Amino acid sequence: MDFRLPDEFVALKKMVRKFTENELFPLEQDVINRESARGTTDAPSLAPEVEKHLMKRTEELGLWGIEVPEEFGGQELGALAKVIVVEEMNRSIVQFTLPPDAPNLNYLKECCTKEQYEKYLLPYSTGEKRSALAMTEPNAGSDAAAIETRSDFIDGKWVINGTKAFISFAPKVDFFILITVSDRVKRKKGGFTAFLLDKDTPGLQIVRNVNTIGDMLTYELVLEDVKLDPSQVLGEVGNAFIPLQNRFGVRRMELAARCCGYADRLIQLMIEQANIRTTFGKPLAERQAVQWWISNSTMELHAARLMVYHAAWKVDQGHKDMRKEAAMLKVYCTEMLSKIADRAIQVHGGLGVSKEMPIEYIYRLVRDFRIIEGPSEIHRWLLAREILKDGKPYDAFRQ
């Protein structure tokens, strides 16, 4: 067993680390100020001209399309390379995502027809078009099978009516992957259909923004008699759920990698503060409580990172069923970061909760992370269901 990263990935990690420190860290105070000034509006925390500059810089550095297959204009370096890049970039709080947003790419790759390939998949994989997933509804979140948005096939067109809630990035995207109920009797047994929905389609409205605790902007969409051609169906009619599961697996792995990046940064900040801050004549580094916060955080981050890299390695080996790994990553890594963010605040005292440092930002953001992509309780339930079905403990190294 060889735990070393290949030389090219070590170089990639180093390059992204440098980029993060040189280009993203200096932007953090501005992100904090813009987020605070936003109130309930949806003004972005990253200034659009700065985002444009970062897009250009990262393209020059060859950071786009890391895991995208070469046939779609990407670099095909695989999932492990992607999580390394995501982890290193998310040592900073600057909300900047490298194009394309890979989880939707996987969904599109699995389901697009030839015509959809040209119109959606290719421009998406090269970063020209952006997309979002529109699944959640006011009455259906964790229980996605309870969605009510209807798609009815009438006179050769699909007619769609319903409301979608908490949809991230809505005004910034070019199209949505929209999940609907096409058969109200079959429902999850062959009654859910996905569509490619262009943002400017008549009948679709982004009605309001709903800001959340941690710099995550979400939107409510209303669909009123939206008429779509059958060529807009993504995948098979009635079978939206299987490719969705695969999309979620990749998304959860990337979210877990983000958690590792933030945790790494917080531990660094704790170490620095413990060494420089003196109380009652001694540095904090000499207090056992502080030492334990740092050692517990170190152990938890190490375990989390091994889980993330292992899952990415499995994806690169061609494993398709990542349900157990995705559930474990989602719960463990988000809860790991929650604990570390709390300790980092405590080590820094008043400074920790102030807007002079990025710590309280991460503390709030991770609260969103424990809800998005399925709350912890759902993943614990799914994991237990799989393990009980297997009838034996999970052991990644047993054949």
Q: What per-residue string of b and e applies to 226-251 under the rule 16 or more CB within 10 Å gives b?
A: bebeeebbbbebbebbebbebbbbbb
Residue 316: CB minimum distance to ligand FAD, A: 26
Residue 380: CB minimum distance to ligand FAD, A: 8
Using rule CB under 6 A, residue 245 touches ligand FAD: no
CA atoms of 315 and 88, how far apart (whole Å): 20
Q: Which residues inside 209-238 make contact with ligand FAD, applying CB under 6 A?
A: 212, 216, 218
Site map 173..212 versus ligand FAD, x via CB under 6 A? ---------------------------------------x
> Quick one: which of 5, 371, 382, 387 contacts ligand FAD (CB under 6 A)?
371
Nearer to ligand FAD (CB atom), residue 229 or residue 377: 377
Residue 276: CB minimum distance to ligand FAD, A: 35
The torsion region of residue 108 among left (phi > 0), alpha (psi -120 to 50) and beta comes to: alpha
Q: Give catalytic status of residue 236 as yes or no.
A: no
Nearer to ligand FAD (CB atom), residue 42 or residue 59: 42
Using rule CB under 6 A, residue 340 touches ligand FAD: no
Bridge partners of residue 209, in order along the sequence? 219
Using rule CB under 6 A, residue 368 touches ligand FAD: yes
CA atoms of 344 and 346, how far apart (whole Å): 5
Using rule CB under 6 A, residue 369 touches ligand FAD: no
**SS3 for 42?**
coil
Nearer to ligand FAD (CB atom), residue 321 or residue 377: 377
Q: Which of 23, 35, 88, 373 is catalytic?
A: 373
Stretch that binds ligand FAD, among 89-97, 294-302, 364-372, 384-392 (CB under 6 A): 364-372
Nearest to 88 by CA among 29, 30, 12, 3: 12
Using rule CB under 6 A, residue 72 touches ligand FAD: no
C-alpha triplet 306, 255, 235: angle, nearest 5°: 115
Extract long-range pairs of 3-12: CB within 8 Å, 24+ residues apart.
5/80, 5/84, 9/80, 9/81, 9/84, 12/77, 12/81, 12/84, 12/85
CA atoms of 172 and 215, how far apart (whole Å): 15
Residue 117: CB minimum distance to ligand FAD, A: 23
Nearer to ligand FAD (CB atom), residue 46 or residue 301: 46
Asked whether 257 and 87 are in contact (CB, 8 A), the reply is yes
Nearer to ligand FAD (CB atom), residue 75 or residue 163: 163
Nearer to ligand FAD (CB atom), residue 46 or residue 135: 135
Nearer to ligand FAD (CB atom), residue 257 or residue 267: 257
Give the distance, in angstroms, between the CA of residue 272 and the centroid of all CA atoms in the same chain. Answer: 29
CA atoms of 200 and 206, how far apart (whole Å): 10
Q: Which one-letter amino acid corresponds to residue 284?
A: L
Stretch that binds ligand FAD, among 8-16, 93-101, 334-342, 370-378 (CB under 6 A): 370-378
Using rule CB under 6 A, residue 25 touches ligand FAD: no
CA atoms of 148 and 145, how far apart (whole Å): 9
Nearest to 272 by CA among 365, 344, 356, 338: 344
Element (H, E) at 394: none
Using rule CB under 6 A, residue 249 touches ligand FAD: no
Residue 63: CB minimum distance to ligand FAD, A: 23
> Quick one: which of 68, 93, 134, 250 contacts ligand FAD (CB under 6 A)?
134
Residue closest to ligand FAD, measured at CB:
141
Q: Which residues inside 136-165 make contact with ligand FAD, applying CB under 6 A?
A: 136, 141-143
Nearer to ligand FAD (CB atom), residue 95 or residue 218: 218
Residue 100: CB minimum distance to ligand FAD, A: 15
For helices 241-276 and 79-89, the axis angle rounded to 10 degrees is 40
Beta strands in the chain (DSSP E): 131-134, 150-154, 157-168, 175-181, 192-198, 204-211, 217-228, 233-234, 278-279, 282-283
> Quick one: which of 12, 32, 108, 132 contacts ligand FAD (CB under 6 A)?
132
Residue 41: CB minimum distance to ligand FAD, A: 16
CA atoms of 344 and 358, how far apart (whole Å): 10
Q: Which one-letter amino acid corresponds to residue 397?
A: F
Where on the chain is the footprint of ligand FAD (CB under 6 A)? Answer: 132-136, 141-143, 166-168, 212, 216, 218, 368, 371-372, 374-375, 377-378, 381
Catalytic residues: 373
